Amino acid sequence: SFKAPDRIWGAWRDVHGELLLKRQFVIEQSTLQQIFDRTISVQDELLQAVLESGADQRLKEVVATIQAEQNDIIRAAKDQVLIVQGVAGSGKTTVALHRLAYLIYTWQDVLPADRILIVGPNKLFLNYISDVLPELGVTEVNQTTFTELARRLLPPEIPIQPKLAPATVLAERSPEARLISFKCSLGMQRLIDGYVRYLEDHLIPEGDLTIEAESVLSRNEIDAYQKKECYYLPLIARFNMVRQFCLNKVRQKAEEMVVRTKAQCEREVVRLKAALPEGGERRWKIGQAYDCRDRAVARLKKAPAAVVKSYLKNWPKWPLLELYQRVFAFPEQAL
């Protein structure tokens, strides 16, 4: 129900009815431009037009039933991992496709369609995606299955098992079946979680970060930074953030040392002027002091990048396949 003015009695009265449809109109200069059927109000009229233009009735019905929570997912920030969970038929694919359309529409200058990859479970799913995406105004998106992606990325010596191979092995109750069963268990999860913690503890090289024998950061401080500030990144991907953190600290330390070096030079010049009579020897020694200062300042200004590069040269470079194999080769390290 809602309040409406009564023309006859000149007062407000309650109007009761059943809400069957929520429709949004776009009117420009007294002309009706667009009509949208929605259960929520969408402020971005251009995006709404992209989503509904050319869509068939089935897709319009899907668009009309998008809830506020789903809309939040569709419009979530692009620079973050987004995982959508739900039971079969809960609308995960619909939300994902609309988010894809939103991202391409909003960030088309930096996120063109041909740089996006959809990984589907099978060809049937991808065929469905191929039919729906053009209705959302999305074309030229790369699509593949996980098996095809694995074949493309893995070296040829690693065999790709047929889809029914695990089921056949499980039916035979072989040692391989027990291994597959373990990989699907919580024990495997605990093993991997423990192993990741072990790798995280051994990510930062041994020793403290120093510049010209002066301490900048201890290993524990760098380790604490990567665990607290870089926790959301894969271990290998933390390098750039840790490098920038170390570089900023070394530059700060180098600036402090430059100030200190200049102050020491000025004190030395004052001492020389007080200790030596005016003449050639005093001028020569004062010149030497300034030359020494200038060389030290130049060295300190160039040092930070080289210092950090040298410190992080032992940052582990782990091939992913080797890491996976080590989980089973050294299980005691993962617990």
Question: Of 65, 84, 111, which residue sits at a domain end?
Answer: 111
Query: Residue 155 falls within a domain, yes or no?
Result: no
Query: pLDDT (tens digit, 0 to 9) for every residue of the chain, 335 residues total?
Result: 666 555 444 566 677 777 777 777 778 788 877 665 554 444 445 445 544 554 454 445 445 555 667 778 888 887 888 888 887 777 788 888 888 888 888 887 888 888 888 898 878 788 877 877 777 777 788 899 888 888 888 888 887 776 656 555 556 667 777 777 888 888 888 888 888 888 899 889 999 999 999 999 999 999 999 999 998 888 888 999 999 999 999 999 999 999 999 999 999 999 998 898 988 998 999 999 999 999 999 999 999 999 999 999 988 887 878 888 888 776 554 44
Please state the domain count of the chain.
Answer: 3
Question: Of 72, 96, 111, which residue sits at a domain end?
Answer: 111
Q: Containing domain of residue 28, as a range?
A: 2-111
Query: Residue 294 falls within a domain, yes or no?
Result: yes
Q: How far out from the chain centre does Cα 215 lie? A: 32
Same domain, 264 and 177: no
Same domain, 193 and 226: no
How many other CB atoms are there within 10 angstroms of residue 25's CB atom? 9
Same domain, 177 and 236: no
What is the pairing mode between strands 11-15 and 23-28? unpaired
Same domain, 211 and 289: yes
Query: Residue 88 falls within a domain, yes or no?
Result: yes
| C-alpha span between 38 and 35 (Å, rounded) | 10
Same domain, 212 and 175: no
What pLDDT does 232 receive? 87
Same domain, 194 and 217: no
Question: Of 111, 127, 149, which residue sits at a domain end?
Answer: 111
Give the Cα-Cα-Cα angle 137, 139, 94 (nearest 5 degrees): 60
Query: Residue 147 falls within a domain, yes or no?
Result: no
Write the CA distances from 100 to 39, 78, 235, integer angstroms: 21, 10, 27
Query: Residue 120 falls within a domain, yes or no?
Result: no
74 close to 48: Cβ distance less than 8 angstroms:
no
Give the Cα-Cα-Cα angle 324, 118, 231 (nearest 5 degrees): 45
| C-alpha span between 261 and 254 (Å, rounded) | 10
Query: Residue 327 falls within a domain, yes or no?
Result: no
For the chain, what percent of residues have pLDDT higher than 70? 79
What is the tens place of the pLDDT at every residue in 11-58? 666 777 777 777 777 787 888 776 655 544 444 454 455 445 544 544
Same domain, 195 and 257: no
Same domain, 67 and 52: yes
Same domain, 228 and 284: yes
Query: Residue 335 falls within a domain, yes or no?
Result: no
What pLDDT does 111 receive? 83
Same domain, 176 and 262: no
> What does 52-98 look like in DSSP terms, one character per residue?
HTT--HHHHHHHHT--HHHHHHHTS-SSS-------TTSSHHHHHHH
Same domain, 209 and 298: yes
Q: What pTM, to 2 d.p., does this model score?
A: 0.52
Same domain, 189 and 237: no
Query: Residue 44 falls within a domain, yes or no?
Result: yes
Contacts of 278 (CB under 8 A, 6+ apart): none
What does the block give as tokens for 42?
Answer: 């969408």
What pLDDT does 335 receive? 44
